[in-house]
């Protein structure tokens, strides 16, 4: 069984911090999420959330997550995708909730709604991950508000009410769905959830321009043109692309794929013990991956 999804380690992960096989396909894995400690935040502080910047600066966000803002640029990315107060948003496969920690408080405070399409539950492992994520939300309800958790997978139904979402987000997950053979379904499900004129925002590890795309994206990288073509085949139109999350130092030629780079920092093939003496310095100097940032629109 192969693993194709690696997200940064977070506090209180399930045993070993290992991944979980995507139910029913056995090809992609998602980091297991544990119920972290309750975050003590004063109600008055939550009430101050009026802008995306307020949510990004939130006291409930772990310091390790904030340290990665320099690479993921959440304020700039969400602004580029057009996130506004009071919107209805769908986040696919949230991992440990890095973006949920920003989206949920912002939308709750501004009268919006967040749907989170987590793993489709078809086995006990998937159920454990989804329930752990739900516990995280429930244990910190005054921070996250009423997030509605749905599912996305090979046989899942709608991720949100049809035609009601303003914004759908694919955040470093397209390569996993390619490995699982469900990338086309992801785009179709996103299209169905969006209202006419709604936006699909994509952040993804960007492959070498002009290279042949591995249909399974085994190294974690996806050609930008390939991603756009998949979106167009589902009915989307490209509105804009941005270099917000670009990293020109990333040559995409790493011994263990994109996961050689921070934050995962693999030093051996996946599933094997870390390699003693592996020189991380070269890859740490690169930083996190070069990423495409796309804004696609469902036609009106």
Question: CA 177, 71, 182 angle in degrees (round to 5)?
Answer: 5
Res 6 pLDDT > 50: no
The torsion angle over the Cα atoms of residues 178, 251, 202 and 271, rounded to 10 degrees, is 40
Whole-number Å distance between alpha carbons of 184 and 77: 24
Half-sphere exposure of 284 (CA within 13 A, CB side): 6
Give the single-character DSSP code of 273. P
Judging by DSSP bridges, how do beta strands 237-242 and 291-297 pair with one another? antiparallel
Res 151 pLDDT > 80: yes
DSSP of 170-230:
EES-HHHHHHHT-HHHHHHHHHHHEEEEEEEEEEEEBPPTTSPPPTT-TTS-B-HHHHHHH
End-to-end CA distance of the chain: 42
Task: Give the residue-averaged pLDDT of 191-198.
Answer: 99
Lookup: tokens for 23: 């139910």
Count of Cβ atoms closer than 10 Å to residue 54 Cβ: 17
Task: Give the residue-averaged pLDDT of 268-274.
Answer: 92
Q: What is the mean pLDDT of the chain?
A: 88
Q: Which residues are within 8 A (CB) of 69 and not within 5 positions of it... i.e. 6 or more apart?
A: 56, 75
Q: Where are the alpha helices (DSSP H) in 48-111?
A: 52-56, 63-67, 69-72, 74-81, 100-109
pTM of the model: 0.88
- Predicted confidence at residue 15, as pLDDT, reads 26
Class of domain 15-297: alpha beta
List pLDDT tens digits, range 207-234.
Answer: 999 999 999 999 999 999 999 999 999 9
């Amino acid at each position: 069984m192969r693993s194709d999804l690696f997200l940064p380690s977070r506090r209180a992960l399930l045993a070993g911090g290992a991944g979980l096989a995507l139910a029913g396909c056995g090809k992609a894995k998602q980091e297991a999420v544990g119920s972290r400690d309750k975050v003590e935040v004063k109600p008055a502080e939550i009430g101050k959330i009026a802008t995306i910047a307020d949510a990004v600066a939130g006291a409930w966000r772990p310091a390790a997550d904030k340290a990665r803002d320099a690479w993921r640029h959440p304020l700039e990315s969400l602004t580029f995708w057009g996130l506004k107060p009071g919107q209805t948003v769908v986040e696919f496969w949230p991992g440990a909730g890095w973006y949920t920690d920003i989206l949920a408080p912002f939308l709750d405070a501004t009268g919006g709604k967040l749907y989170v399409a987590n793993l489709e539950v078809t086995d006990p492992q998937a159920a454990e991950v989804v329930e752990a994520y739900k516990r995280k939300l429930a244990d910190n309800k005054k921070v996250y508000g009423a997030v509605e958790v749905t599912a996305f997978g090979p046989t899942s139904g709608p991720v949100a009410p049809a035609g009601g979402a303003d914004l759908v987000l694919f955040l470093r997950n397209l390569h996993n769905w390619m490995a699982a053979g469900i990338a086309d379904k992801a785009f179709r499900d996103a299209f169905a959830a969006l209202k006419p004129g709604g936006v699909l925002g994509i952040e993804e590890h960007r492959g070498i321009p002009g290279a042949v795309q591995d249909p399974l994206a085994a190294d974690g990288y996806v050609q930008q043109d390939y991603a756009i073509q998949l979106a167009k085949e589902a009915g989307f139109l490209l509105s804009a692309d941005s270099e917000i999350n670009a990293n020109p130092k990333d040559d995409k030629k790493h011994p263990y794929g994109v996961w050689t780079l921070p934050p995962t920092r693999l030093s051996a093939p996946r599933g094997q013990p870390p390699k003693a003496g592996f020189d991380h310095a070269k890859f740490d100097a690169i930083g996190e991956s070069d990423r495409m940032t796309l804004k696609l629109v469902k036609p009106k």
